Amino acid sequence: MHLSFNDGVNARLAKPDSENNGDYQLKIAFDDGSALIFTVAMYGGLFLHNGTFNYDYYIKNLNAVQPLSEGYRDYYYKSFSEASNMSVKAFLATEQRFPGIGNGVLQDILFEAGIHPKNKIGELDDDRRSALFDSITKVLSEMTANGGRNTEKDLFGEYGRYQTKMSKLTVGTECRVCGEKIVKQNYLGGSVYFCPHCQTLK
């Protein structure tokens, strides 16, 4: 059988000697006493299937062109032509157009590119499209190399070593580029964090 779970699910490996696993939605216990513990805080899905799973997100993920892979540049530019009326956040982080890019990684990608989350895709000129592509590659590579963001824990309960620039940890502090206060807004079913000076709404 296959077990699939999505990004709303927290997965932890509990050591054999850990007595209290707290509340959980699923526990897979191993012979040596260790266990995989799955919990869901806000939303999340755990799916057990035989390898054939007719679920839109799952199929899109399996067949997606992954960021940092070879064909990604072509896929990225091709996608622009279908999305001119969309905001940058809607374009990058919804409908599994770019699996691997969600609201969590989006904030620093847009900050590095100097783009406001509500900017329309159709209003980005070639330079800014190119800057956005470069930022996706740079930020995701750094996050991967550092074991994830410092706002998320890994399988062993350790925070990632990538220091987020725009996140719940930095909201209200000064932007490292211009000194303006970092703000938070609710937008498209999640919080966006940005610098109002470095990322102006064009």
Residues that bind Zn ion (CB under 5 A): 175, 177-178, 180, 195, 197-198
Nearer to Zn ion, 142 or 180 (CB): 180
Give the number of residues written for the chain: 202
Q: Work out how close the CB of 177 gets to Zn ion at its nearest, in angstroms, rounded to a whole number.
A: 4
| Residue 70 beta carbon to Zn ion: minimum distance, rounded to whole angstroms | 34
> Nearest to Zn ion by Cβ — which residue?
175
Q: How far apart are alpha carbons 69 and 152 in whole angstroms?
A: 24
Cα 175 from chain centre: 21
SS3 110: helix
Which is nearest to 142 in space by CA: 160, 166, 167? 160
Our CB check for Zn ion shows the closer of 38 and 194 to be 194
Tokens 């012979």 belong to 31
Q: Which is nearer to Zn ion, 112 or 152 (CB)?
A: 112
| CB closer to Zn ion out of 179 and 189 | 179
Measured distance CA(134)–CA(143) in Å, rounded = 14
Q: Are strands 35-40 and 9-14 parallel, antiparallel or unpaired?
A: antiparallel
DSSP structure class, residue 121: G
Say if CB 180 and CB 196 are below 8 A apart: yes
**Least spacing, CB of residue 119 vs Zn ion, in Å:** 16
CB 153, min distance to Zn ion, A:
28
Of 14 and 166, the one with the shorter C-beta distance to Zn ion is 166
Minimal distance, residue 132 CB to Zn ion, in Å: 17
* Under 8 Å between Cβ of 24 and 68: no
Give whichever of 12 and 165 is closer to Zn ion, judged by the CB atom.
165
Residues sharing a CB contact under 8 Å with residue 83, sequence separation 6 or more, in sequence order: 90, 91, 97, 121, 122
Closest contact distance (angstroms) between CB of 166 and Zn ion is 10
